[in-house]
Structure 1
Amino acid sequence: MPASATAEPRPISGVCPVLATPFDDDSVPDAPGLARIAEFAIRCGADALVYPGVASEVEQLSDSERNDLLDVLAATAHGRVPLIVGATAEQLRATMLHLDKAASLGAAAAMVMAPARLAGDTAALIDYYRSLAEATEVPIMLQNAPPPAGAGFDMSAIARVVSEVPAVRYVKEETMPCGQHISALLATREIGDAPHFIGVLGGAGGRYILDELARGALGTMPACELTDIHVTMVAAWHAGNRSFARTLYNRSLPLLNFQAVFRWAMTKEVLKRRGVIWGAHVRAPGPRLDRQDEAELGIMLAEISDLLADFSPRGEFPIPVKNAESNQKEAR
């Protein structure tokens, strides 16, 4: 295991987008496209990059594709932003192999979803994460997602895992209502007595980001198509400009609601329209945009065009990403 995997990384916080997996028209992973998505997120100000996750169509990737794409991503992110490696798999042995990959890349954390098959069995959940902890020195992020993808454990169960498995340093909480669950988790005695625990991050596509921050979340892990807006929003929040953060939230929420329906198809279409990737092919099952949806998406993007950085086909930002202060002045 490399020294970078054992060194204590800086705490994860802020905006940590889950990157999409681009495919060409033949459904082959587009490695240069993933590098461009990573570059886009980094230049937008992302605090860390997450890959692969649900928003990456991870269930549609083979292990070899997954590893090859992680190599591309790690090369792009190296020395610039931390990498959070998604290590979720159906079988424990496969998850451990993904943890090995995370360690080899010097990941800041490995995100592992609480398996749906363990739903309701807290003792089995503790044993599961204890087994993972014994297999790696990479900090573990427990992803608590609702069914059908995850098990949707209650906060008392998650708190027990954190308390009994010190390698679990973070929780990504996505069960509804996310905000209330974040408050409940942070208020548990087990969390209060766990000095190794760093904190909770929100997910759920960023649709509840301000409520999560208000309740003590360290940050958010949304999809990646609006990273620049999310970075500006979170910066405004932490700077005390809650009104401007709310304005950004309200203006971007229609797109996030649209993304909740169309998921990967919408994320990739936005990235394509923003000049980040060349195509919007999707492997995962789910609804696709028809002509009216595409027209509606264009209207929504036009309505927030003043908030979006420009990412040209040359890979440059002719219009630099704006900070919260300059955006606030222009919004007046």
Structure 2
Amino acid sequence: MKKQLYPLKGIVTVLNTPFTEGDTIDLKALNGNVAEALKAGVAGFLVPAMAAEVYKLSEQERLKMVEAVLETVGGRVPVIAGAGETDLHKSKKLLKAYLNMGCTNVLFQIPFENEAQFRKHFMELADLDPKMIMLQDWDASGYGLKDELICDLFENIEAFRCLKIETVPAGVKYSRILELTQGNLHISGGWAVSQMMEGLQRGVHAFMPTGMHLIYTSIYRLFETGKQKEAEHLFLQILPVLAFSNQHLDISVHFFKRLLYRQGIYPTPNVRSPALPFDTLHQAIADKHIAHVLQLEKRLAHDNSKA
């Protein structure tokens, strides 16, 4: 099956979920974050996914988030809806609801028990006929899905166009999958954004962080316009931030929600339980990094206004 590369290049924001003091979702704040990301030049959105604390959200909360983002985006960039569920029946119900609201780009996040189970789950979701399937390849301690499985699904399922690689390490897998699919399977990097410069050099098409919209879009734009040294210089300025935030998924969610709160975009930095603690020392260290991020974004905004 001959496929063309899915046309999505740049920064795709994975949205954190904004909670009120009453632990409900603040859709106005979510839309504010989307607006800020669009202003910074992001190429798309993924919602809800692991950074959104997706397994702590009800079905109705997920649907309301996707609906709100679709409305705010208004077709300007792709919106990819996360259909992550451990239960196949729940995944199918959620996917049908996304398709009914007009969101035809979806992320499959399928728990891997064995290859037969994984294929069955994938195929039953694919049979519901989404327009574009992005598959999440998440493994916090290893290589993730086998190359042969990925390539076979890509060859035989027309809608499977994109792979979100979040494995340890990710770099070699980026290159291997690009080579095995002749560069036609869209590759994005998520958790491995701390190796963004390596990913850019390996030809990764998109990166999926959760915050620092202007910084990430600036790095990507500099690299793509041939200013690789400037891109690397800017990236090195956020590397200490990533070293702190990427200790664990829960720490990342805590940190970037705190950043969004300090930016005045989210009403609280709250996360839902259960989650790893974010104690007073974490908060003090985070606040130093946040001050640095805010200063860096202020400088970039000033530079852009003069350009």
Normalising to structure 2: TM-score of the pair? 0.89
1:177 alignment partner in structure 2: 169
Partner of residue 272, structure 2? 283
Shift of residue 147, structure 1, vs aligned partner = 5.3
Which residue, out of 13, 19, 23, partners 1:17?
13
Report if the CA contact (8 A) 2:154-2:161 is conserved: yes
Give the drift of 1:151. 9.2
Q: Which moved more, 1:276-285 or 1:94-103?
A: 94-103
Residue range with higher mean Cα deviation, 124-133 or 205-214 = 124-133
Deviations 1:10-29 (A, max 9, x none): 72221001000011112111
Instruction: Give, in whole Å, the separation in 1 of the partners of 2:294 and 2:98.
Output: 36
Give the 3-state SS of the residue equivalent to 1:84 in structure 2: strand
The answer to whether the 8 Å contact 2:212/2:293 transfers is no
Supply the distance in 2 between the matched residues of 1:33 and 1:305 (Cα, whole angstroms): 19
Shift of 1:324: 11
Q: Identify the residue that residue 43 of structure 1 maps to in structure 2.
A: 39
Does residue 164 in structure 1 map to residue 164 in structure 2? no
2:208 is aligned with 1:221: yes
Say if 2:232 is the partner of 1:230: no
1:62 matches 2:58: yes
Shift of residue 280, structure 1, vs aligned partner: 0.8
Give the deviation of 1:297 after TM superposition.
Answer: 2.0
| CA distance in 2 between partners of 1:138 and 1:227 (Å) | 27
**Gap change, CA 1:179 and 1:324, over 3 Å in 2:** farther
5 Å-filtered alignment, 1:178-327, equals: 178-188=170-180, 191-192=181-182, 197-204=184-191, 206-223=193-210, 225-261=211-247, 262-309=251-298, 320=301, 323=304, 326=307
* % same residue: 26
Pairwise CA distance, 1:32: 1.3
- Which residue of 1 is the match for residue 132 of structure 2? 139
Amino acid at match of 1:266: F
Deviation at 1:201, TM superposition (A): 0.6
The one-letter code matched in structure 2 to 1:246 is E
Q: Deviations over 1:201-256 (max 9, x none)?
A: 11116212121121121110111x21111000000110111111111211111112
Report the TM-score when normalising by structure 1: 0.83
Superposition deviation, residue 141 in structure 1: 0.4
CA distance in 2, matches of 1:321, 1:127: 52
CA contact (8 A) 2:80 2:107 kept: yes
Work out the CA distance in 1 between the residues paired with 2:285 and 2:244: 10
CA contact (8 A) 2:106 2:132 kept: yes
* Residue in structure 2 matched with residue 81 of structure 1 by the alignment: 77
**Count of aligned positions:** 301
Contact 1:11 1:198 (C-alpha < 8 Å) held by counterparts: no
Kept after mapping to 1: 8 A contact 2:5/2:161: no
**CA RMSD between the two structures:** 2.6
SS in 1 for 2:276: coil
Structure 1: tracts of 5 or more residues without a match: 1-7, 311-318, 327-332
Following TM superposition, by how much is the alpha carbon of 1:182 offset from its aligned partner in structure 2, in angstroms? 0.7
Amino acid at match of 1:145: W
Query: How much does 1:97 deviate?
Result: 2.4
Flag the 1:321–1:166 CA change in 2: closer, same or farther, 3 A.
farther
One-letter amino acid matched to 1:272: Y
Partners of 1:116 and 1:52 lie apart in 2 by: 20
Q: Which residue of 68, 72, 83 maps to 1:72?
A: 68
